[in-house]
Amino acid sequence: MTQPRTTADWQALGRQHLLAPFSDYKQLGAKGARIIQRADGVYLWDSEGRKILDAMAGLWCVNVGYGRRELADATHRQMLELPYYNLFFQTAHPPAIELAAAIAEIAPAGMRHVFFAGSGSEANDTVLRLVRHYWAIKDQPQKKVIIGRINGYHGSTVAGASLGGMKAMHGQGDLPIPGIEHIAQPYWYGEGGAMDPQAFGEWAAEELEKKILEVGEERVAAFIAEPIQGAGGVIIPPQSYWPRVRKILARYDILFVADEVICGFGRTGEWFGSQYYGLEPDLMPIAKGLTSGYLPMGGVIVRDHVAQTLAEGGEFYHGYTYSGHPVAAAVALENIRILREEKIVERVKAETAPYLQKRWQELADHPLVGEARGLGMLGALELVQDKKSRTRFPGGIGMRCREHCFANGLIMRAVGDTMIVSPPLVIDREEIDALIGLVRTCLDATARELA
Ligand code: PLP
């Protein structure tokens, strides 16, 4: 057990030794981190004993909620049975095999193989290597270019950050690497201007075809996209977008990668976002909800024809020490068992998501909210100075709103001035009511600060 310390002690020790991800080190140095100590259900407790409703499920991952003893027990059991072995050089172990089979049962039809990784970023590194390997096996090694989207997020490793379209990330370290192209995102509220949303969705989809033609079909290996962009700000494409993208993809011989790291494991009310939108991807990177975040694990689910091609290619010189880690696999299996037996995905679709979305829409009347949008267990609020013209506040107010959230016992994420939520799937009605009440309190506090 850790020694009990004061918040200031933790912060000081952290400042001395911890390099935290995605944190402004200048600000962190001045203020110190918030120390989260314990969690149960949809709530966290910080080092001051304050109770916080975690409307982000950690980082979009704690789908079954915190404090699940079954997952701790599965960890304990597997640690004693086989704490580690690997899948290299023609070995395997029961948890990884069983997990691949369990994933095949819930995945879209015809996607029956899984390559395991340690995270979503690693999964997307695997995607990059796998699609190029795939085309090389098919005697088309020149098909190397992968098309992603501006403001898409596919992780933080060199491949993940390159496939993603985050400007700030590209600005550090000469990214993207060669062979990656980006097209416009289907972000109607932010970029659609005076266009009708459906016309805008079609325009954004057609950007894909333009890019394929510009690069040359013979050089394009794949298109990668999140069914709903998460880290970009819960960007829900207009209804016209995915059907038009599908039509375009059908015309060209390129692979389609649906990044399910956030949308997978129930977030949309289906097991995968691809099922929600009727997409038929060739590859689906997964992570997060796979273990509900209890242990790190990711993977890539592949369609049968891809697995068949890989089988013809002999050895794939790729893999991670922790690919299919037995303890993580045991936790993922138990997590999937919980999701299935408690019918959590079905409940999201029938009850929880419709209720969350109904209540979320009520926030649209707040003076700061230009748009309240949501789908499944995802929600976003666009904060604006002027609703009609969608004018933002000079200097931005998202981070200020986020501070008010913390002060009032709520975790919401700010992506610029888009406030987003992605709560645990097990959140109940009362907790949704509490969430909406807290969001309104925080919006009011932000508005008061601006007045
Ligand atoms: N892909 C998507 C869609 C994500 O949202 C994320 C993380 O937020 C990743 C990939 C990267 O996953 P990880 O942080 O586990 O590396």
φ and ψ of 372, to 5 deg: -115, 115
- Can you give the pTM of this predicted structure? 0.98
22 CA to centre of ligand 1 in angstroms = 13
**So what's the pLDDT on residue 4?**
64
Q: How far is the CA of 226 from the centre of ligand 1 (A)?
A: 10
Distance 423 CA to ligand 1 centre (A): 16
Say which residues have a Cβ less than 8 Å from residue 276's Cβ, sequence separation at least 6: 227, 263, 268, 269, 270, 375, 376
The Cα–Cα gap between 263 and 269 comes to 9
Our answer on whether the CB atom of 261 is closer than 6 Å to any ligand 1 atom is yes
The pLDDT of residue 1 is above 80 = no
Q: What is the Cβ-side half-sphere exposure of residue 393, based on CA atoms within 13 angstroms?
A: 23
Q: Which helix (H) or strand (E) holds 37?
A: strand 36-40
**Which of 422, 420, 426, 442 lies closest to 366 in space, CA to CA?**
442
% of the chain surpassing 70 pLDDT: 99
For the segment 120-146, what is each residue's pLDDT rounded down to a tens digit?
999 999 999 999 999 999 999 999 999
If 0-12 CB within 10 Å is exposed, 13-18 middle and 19+ buried, where does residue 272 land? buried
Amino acid identity of residue 406, one-letter, is: F
pLDDT above 70: residue 391:
yes
One-letter amino acid of 77: R
In tens, the pLDDT along 77-102 reads: 999 999 999 999 999 999 999 999 99
pLDDT > 90 in the chain, percent: 97
- Side-chain-side CA neighbours of 294 within 13 Å: the count stands at 28
Spatial contact of 233 and 416, defined as CB atoms under 8 Å apart:
yes
Number of Cβ within a 10 Å radius of residue 361? 13
* Residue 291 vs residues 84, 122, 213, 353: alpha-carbon distances, Å: 17, 15, 40, 21
Residue to mutate, 169, 226, 261, ligand 1, most ligand atoms under 8 Å from C-beta: 261
- Our answer on whether the CB atom of 289 is closer than 6 Å to any ligand 1 atom is no
Q: Is 54 in the pocket of ligand 1 (CB under 6 A)?
A: no
278-327 pLDDT, tens digit per residue, is 999 999 999 999 999 999 999 999 999 999 999 999 999 999 999 999 99
121 in contact with ligand 1, CB cutoff 6 A = yes
Ligand 1 pocket check: which of 121, 149, 157, 290 to mutate, most ligand atoms within 8 Å of Cβ? Answer: 121
Instruction: Convert 80-111 into a string of H (helix), E (strand) and C (coil).
Output: HHCCCCCCCCCCCCHHHHHHHHHHHHHCCCCC
**Which helix (H) or strand (E) element contains residue 75?**
helix 69-81
Mean pLDDT score of the chain, rounded to an integer?
Answer: 97
From the number of C-beta atoms within 10 Å of its C-beta (0-12, 13-18, 19+), residue 100 rates as buried
Q: Residues 107-115: what's their mean pLDDT?
A: 98
Joined tokens for residue 142 = 């020149």
**Interstrand relation of 180-183 and 145-149 (parallel, antiparallel or unpaired):** parallel
262 lines ligand 1 (CB under 6 A): yes
DSSP output for 116-152: EESSHHHHHHHHHHHHHHHHHHTT-TT--EEEEETT-
Which residue's alpha carbon is nearest to atom 7 within ligand 1? 155
Q: Answer yes or no: are the C-beta atoms of 252 and 218 closer than 8 Å.
A: no
* Pocket perturbation via mutation, ligand 1, pick of 154, 235, 267 by most ligand atoms within 8 A of CB: 154
pLDDT of residue 345: 98
Dihedral sign of CA atoms 431, 433, 437, 443 in order: positive
Residue 157 CA: nearest ligand 1 atom is 16
Q: How do strand 255-258 and strand 220-225 relate by DSSP bridges?
A: parallel
Helix (H) or strand (E) holding 247: helix 241-251
> For ligand 1, what atom is nearest to the CA of residue 298?
15
Give the distance (Å) from ligand 1 centre to CA of residue 233.
14
